[in-house]
Structure 1
Amino acid sequence: MSNPKPLDEAHWTTRFAELVAQHGIPGAQLGILRLGRDGAADELFTTATGVLHAGTGQPATTDSVWQIGSISKVWTATVVMQLVDEGRFALDTPVVEILPELTLGEPEVTKKLTVWHLLTHTSGIDGDIFTDTGRGDDCLEKYVAGLATAAQNHPLGATWSYCNSGFSLLGRVIEKVTGTTWDAALKERLFAPLGLTHTTTLPEEAMVFAHAMGHLSGGEEPKVAPVWGLPRSAGPAGLITSTSTDVLAFARMHLNGGLAADGTRVLSAESTAAMAGFQTECPERILLGDSWGLGWFRCDWSGHRAIGHDGNTIGQAAFLRLLPEAGIAVSVHTNVGSAIPLYLDLYEEIFAELAGVALPPRFELPAEPVQVDITPYLGAYQRESVLEEVLVEDGRPVLRTTVSGPIAELEGSEPETNDLVGVSDGLFAVKPSGSEAYYPVRFYSLPTGEHYLHFGARATPKKSS
């Protein structure tokens, strides 16, 4: 892959502003990093457009900070792998050996759950528990104690299902081993050696900078989110606030085998490679990636291997992709709840221009209608905070989603019914309310016979027909 001409900063500044406005997003920030080759300096470009808060009109800038949401999981995973490098524990160490007080809903899972299961989202612990355990330094300790009543959505290691709860548990593992808080561990082990100046984990730290406010919807009349952030107990799963410049310094370390820009060894080359390497399959290979590493998800872009992560908080969405073979990383932060169409338009253009690499074809409805029998999939699928009902209404298959719990209460979620459009056997498309894009809904069964619906990166077990 040849090294293209220098970044056309004027073009990307203009094009980014055009696309953000086109998609009705109040404000956004973009960063592009390309590693220098043959002794050349790295190229780093950042730009911002729009406003941080539709109510105040404060302009977005390249120094503004944004919630990067679940991209934080890769940072938490990096610290976990530092501890593996130090011999403090191994990937196959049972978590209960590190946290003897751990009690989960099923005793066998308590005994056998490993660090690897948590890093790869294969634990089966209900993943969307957002219990507010307070603002104290003991918030993760209290959160983990509450997992004793958490549901087990699938057998340990049996399938893949996105799990925020598992990363809060990993945060507590970090605390127990380092003897400090997750927040302090990240500052010491990542923020400082990477030279980050605008990256924080606590809201009072973020408030020092101009900071983005979330919006539940954009367009001509944006709806500002009711609160700024999630409870502190969600920190290791998604509470880092940063700039594209700082996020790309973190990405650069992963592109460069674990070395910071000044040559400081942050993570071993072996652990850096393991994080990006294949660890487990994803049942649904369209929405995020085709497989999972340790923290990163993995994407097949027309035969080229990319890694990355997305982040969503209350009214903010972020995207990070790395193409290691080209030494390129791209980071986007937005202050709207869903920005996948912007991501697709922008990243398709950037990676085609800078690396000659095409993203996979978009997930869209078949050109010709496909008749897929919905009968085997009818019924109720349920996990702790979500009920998914597959029904036939007026002769059409539909998916009715009812969300409960703290986040649903904050966002004012109501039950939502959408058509299920057949794509292929066991695969349907659904277009949620307010979305510009279709999302995949995959039905599948485990080898042991249990039936699951996979939607929004979560595996939801079938409870009744």
Structure 2
Amino acid sequence: MLLLRSIALSAACLLTACASVPPPAQPVARGDFAAVKQQLQAFIAQQMNAERVAGLSIALVDDQQAIAAWGQGWADVRTKRPADGQTLYRMGSISKLFTDTAAMQLVAQRRLALDAPIQQVLPWFHLGDEQADAPITLRQLMTHHSGLPRDSDGGMWVDPAVAPATDFRTMLRGLADEPRAAPPGLAMAYSNIGLDLVGAALEAASGRAFEDQLQAAVLKPLGMHSAYVGTGVSDDPKMATGHLRGVAQQEPALRDVPAGGLSASVDEMAKFVAMQLAGGHNGMGEVVLPRREWAEMLRPQNTDVPLDADLRVGLGWMFSTFGMDTVKGGGPVAHHAGATFYFRSQLMMLPEQRLGVVVAANDGAALGVVNRVAQRALALMLEAKTGIPQPVPEPGFRPALQAWPDAQRAAVHRACLGDYATVAGPVTIKAQGPDLKAVMGAAEQTLELREGEGGRLGLRYRVLGLWSANLGPLGDLGLLCERVAGRDVLIGVMDGQRMLVGERLPARGPLPTAAAAWVGRYRQQRLPGEVPTARDVQVSVADGRLWVGYTIHPAFGGQRVRTLLRPESDTRARLVGPLADTGPVVTLQPQPGQPPLIRFSGAVFERESP
């Protein structure tokens, strides 16, 4: 998943000022964990300064022991309260590991079944399309292969001073009008809704409220006494204040508690990591998660899914890291990141080496920082424990030593030319004489596609058409146009691993006449106290296609996004990407004598102007 995020962020960086390349790590001697901490303190300070991050805390775990936990910067810049190992942070999607752990406890007790339809425990659950009764299993929910939409945005985030209009349980029951985003099992597609459904199953099987079950079955046995699960920040004096580039902000409350409602300190998160490194036992030797279920969570589950390429996921855990995010030489890296509006987190561990790290920050600008810090910490700990240094990452692209033969160039042109839905937004690959170029994103930024070794294509961007710019991870990315599972797809290669980047769209044809009814500017009808994640929504027609553009909330980057709307009828379209025929459904609702409404992801948008 980190490669997907790197591709999207690097694409956004083409027109913005991005952080400089971090300084390289220095060698450490075996057993010298004091040097590890010293390097990390300097590295964290450099990274925080570069992104103007308010505060950050980190815990290092070696063989079930927290060997260090500290903070840098401020838990609250206004009061100059320092961050430390006991500071409480919103953990975001790292919460999913706890939800899945609690579910697997019930699997061990045979109160839940991994491969039975979730409707066996939640008979009321169904979706509003022709595939409504197709079974979804607990395993598919935990591996993000359920085909459910990512989010139900309407009411997901609210002002903490306002009573939420709904909770995750009510939201799930309201999905009867929501179509699937994809067939179950087709490919990994991250879904917060899916983990909310796991939380609902946990309630049904345990007979207790989700929050109570997680507290009693996971947090309490681990000794995580300050940690809690809930919709928002607490009034605990140890709770950090959220910030954006060092400026204090009010953190909205989150409806989707099973997917992202955990708050904890890194000091206590280290106990969860230690349990993982001890095969499911807590610090007193008690079984928190039986060994069979612990091992199943850490086993790659999707090796038989062609469209996942080398992306590997366990039950809750992510395994694939690429390029600068890779820690090599210590076996598989199990990890999960987290993000709320103004908090960011990353948990990484090397189970075979019994090493782990947790990083948390109280700043929306810290996404890249927590990832880089966690990777650097785990790499340095591996070197200090085993003497294994990190190799130079293998680039996915190397320029060809000589021009490709005409026949090879023609074959690549045939395979690659066209429009694509990708993880970085819409991309068009065009011919320019004998060369190829890629036109990316809402700004239609043009990049050269260079010929490389092994038939791979590489990206190059010239400022004003003259000087080559540093593309970060994109510069080392190799691209291949291949046919996988009957689809013409774009595969990214980095550090010896392959990942789906996008799929070629069908050739452009005439749009239905009714497409004109979609065009206009739209405003979201907000629930009381709702904090929307997007604004300035506009549907337009260009180049024979229907598009929607919107601006993301500054807490999540503030970029302008342009995405393809693929009509499926006069009143239904699909927001596609990275596959051409999957994605959440958008519906147009005509109103006699009034402008139409658009319904998307649990939210309603009214047209302001055509």
**Distance between the aligned counterparts of 2:248 and 2:444, measured in 1?**
24
Q: Which residue number corresponds to residue 236 of structure 2? A: 208
- SS for the counterpart of 2:75 is coil
Q: Which residue number corresponds to residue 293 of structure 1? A: 314
Superposition CA RMSD, Å = 3.9
1:244-393 matches, within 5 Å, as 244-281=266-303, 290-299=311-320, 301-302=327-328, 304-334=331-361, 335-337=363-365, 338-339=367-368, 340-357=371-388, 366=397, 368=399, 376=416, 378-379=418-419, 381=421, 388-391=425-428
Cα distance, 1:463–1:203 mapped onto 2, change above 3 Å: closer
Q: Which residue number corresponds to residue 122 of structure 1? A: 145
**Distance between the aligned counterparts of 1:185 and 1:252, measured in 2?**
21
Larger radius of gyration: 2
5+ residue gaps, structure 1, are: 37-41, 401-414
Give 2:220's aligned amino acid. A
1:147-158 matches, within 5 Å, as 147-158=175-186
**Distance between the aligned counterparts of 1:129 and 1:429, measured in 2?**
35
5+ residue gaps, structure 2, are: 1-28, 322-326, 404-408, 462-469, 491-499, 503-555, 557-575, 583-610
Cα distance, 1:430–1:368 mapped onto 2, change above 3 Å: closer
Structure 2 length-normalised TM: 0.61
**Distance between the aligned counterparts of 1:83 and 1:206, measured in 2?**
29
Cα distance, 1:258–1:12 mapped onto 2, change above 3 Å: same
- SS for the counterpart of 1:91 is coil
1:275 deviates by 0.4
Matched, 1:184 2:205: no
Conserved 8 A contact 2:413-2:431: no
Q: Which residue number corresponds to residue 505 of structure 2? A: none
- SS for the counterpart of 1:326 is coil
- SS for the counterpart of 1:70 is coil
**Cα deviation per residue 1:90-118 (whole Å; 9 max; x = unaligned)?**
11010111111111244545331111110
Matched, 1:26 2:54: yes
Give 2:579's aligned amino acid. P
Conserved 8 A contact 1:120-1:294: yes
Cα distance, 1:341–1:157 mapped onto 2, change above 3 Å: same
Matched, 1:462 2:580: yes
Structure 1 length-normalised TM: 0.78
**Cα deviation per residue 1:367-412 (whole Å; 9 max; x = unaligned)?**
6489975973643639xxx993213699741332xxxxxxxxxxxx
- SS for the counterpart of 2:190 is coil
**Distance between the aligned counterparts of 1:356 and 1:373, measured in 2?**
46
- SS for the counterpart of 2:335 is strand
**Cα deviation per residue 1:444-463 (whole Å; 9 max; x = unaligned)?**
7652447686479x963225
1:417 deviates by 5.4
- SS for the counterpart of 2:86 is coil
**Distance between the aligned counterparts of 1:78 and 1:121, measured in 2?**
15
**Distance between the aligned counterparts of 2:306 and 2:266, measured in 1?**
31
Q: Which residue number corresponds to residue 438 of structure 1? A: 473
Among the aligned pairs, what percent are the same residue?
Answer: 21
Conserved 8 A contact 1:137-1:181: no
**Distance between the aligned counterparts of 1:277 and 1:87, measured in 2?**
20
Conserved 8 A contact 1:74-1:296: yes
* Alignment: residue pair count: 428
Q: Which residue number corresponds to residue 73 of structure 2? A: 50
Give 1:438's aligned amino acid. P
